[in-house]
Copies of this chain bind each other. A is one copy, B any other.
Amino acid sequence: MAHHRSTLPAVLAPVITPFDAKGAPDAQRLARQCRWLLSHHVGLAIFGTNSEANSMSVTERIQTLQALIDTGLPADQMMPGSGACAVTDAITLTRAAVEAGCAGTLTLPPFYYKDVSDDGLFAYFATIIEAIAHPKLQVYLYNIPPVAKVGFSIALIERLIKAYPKTVVGMKDSSGDWAYTESVMQAFNSTGFRMYAGAESFLMRTLRAGGVGCISATANVNPGTIAGLAANWQQPNADQQQSELDRVRSVFQRRPMIAAMKAAVAHFSGDPQWAAIRPPLVALSPAERDSLLADLDSIGFSISGL
């Protein structure tokens, strides 16, 4: 089957968000990071979980998106997070993304109320899509039950695809549950549904099962190697490359991941302001940072070109 048409690459990073000395999102630092990611053929899933998007106001997110576009970054490589608890906020964020020309939006289910019905979740997405009513809107469902505590049943996905076949085009699955990821692909690959795994640990399995690629936190720090595997996944050494990716990921994953990635970028870029993080997340302590850098050194990992 063919996927829905898209300009987006196989690997995207939920780009970490720099904050300036006053605690505000720093669009210029972020734009430089985005250019570096693009140079490694990694697309821009700005405003994801690892971007601390839900720690930013709607206005901060829209102004930051506009500033990135104004620096000349290509919207066709962007899949901004447009999720929120309030449907009115999700409409505002989604509209801003589509009007900026973004290739897709990555949309969380509303995540305050728990145990909500599929009827209610369908109505939420229908309200957004019909309020925007834009032929170029491409919505990716963002499934991350470990954090959102609200997910997407197969029945709900089916209903959304049937109602909005040109708009509901894919998913980022951060469930960590391969059986679920596989079942979604088996059910909907034939509709052109584009599945992105939520971590590069699932990259080979996702590609082999007809998925598109991955949107992974670690693409913030290891972009070239992850994008390389996505390009070469049918080569004989692909499984070995997957093992190498997993080794790097494990160093970050056993720590508070967002803080650890920011600490690594701060270190390798020589720009300590990158370590700034918004509450309720906290930056690594100096001892935690030293431990991270020692672990990275022990596997011969460093980041260059930042």
A-side residues, CB < 8 A to B, are: 49, 54-58, 60, 85-89, 92, 109-114, 116-117, 119-121, 123-124, 127, 146-150, 278-282
User: Which chain B residue shows the least CB distance to A122?
Assistant: B279
User: Which chain B residue shows the least CB distance to A124?
Assistant: B279
Contact B85–A54 (Cβ < 8 Å): yes
Contact B120–A281 (Cβ < 8 Å): yes
Contact B55–A58 (Cβ < 8 Å): no
User: Which residues from B are CB-within-8-Å of A120?
Assistant: 279-282
User: Which residues from B are CB-within-8-Å of A146?
Assistant: 114
User: Which residues from B are CB-within-8-Å of A149?
Assistant: 114, 149
User: Which residues from B are CB-within-8-Å of A282?
Assistant: 117, 119-120, 123
Q: Which among B49, B110, B280 is the interface contact of A55 at CB below 8 angstroms?
A: B110
Smallest beta-carbon distance A54→chain B, Å? 4
Smallest beta-carbon distance A268→chain B, Å? 25
Contact B110–A280 (Cβ < 8 Å): yes
User: Which residues from B are CB-within-8-Å of A113?
Assistant: 54, 147, 280-281
Within the assembled complex, what's the spacing in Å between the Cα atoms of A111 and B113?
A: 11
Q: Which among B85, B116, B280 is the interface contact of A109 at CB below 8 angstroms?
A: B280
Within the assembled complex, what's the spacing in Å between the Cα atoms of A112 and B282?
A: 15
User: Which chain B residue shows the least CB distance to A116?
Assistant: B280
Within the assembled complex, what's the spacing in Å between the Cα atoms of A37 and B103?
A: 49
Within the assembled complex, what's the spacing in Å between the Cα atoms of A39 and B51?
A: 47
Within the assembled complex, what's the spacing in Å between the Cα atoms of A109 and B279?
A: 11
User: Which residues from B are CB-within-8-Å of A60?
Assistant: 86, 88
Contact B279–A112 (Cβ < 8 Å): no
Smallest beta-carbon distance A158→chain B, Å? 18
Contact A279–B56 (Cβ < 8 Å): no
Contact B112–A86 (Cβ < 8 Å): no
**26 pairs, A vs B, C-beta closer than 8 Å:** A54-B112, A54-B113, A55-B86, A55-B110, A56-B88, A57-B88, A58-B58, A60-B86, A87-B278, A87-B279, A110-B280, A111-B111, A111-B112, A112-B148, A113-B281, A114-B146, A114-B147, A116-B281, A117-B282, A120-B279, A120-B280, A120-B281, A121-B279, A123-B280, A124-B280, A149-B149
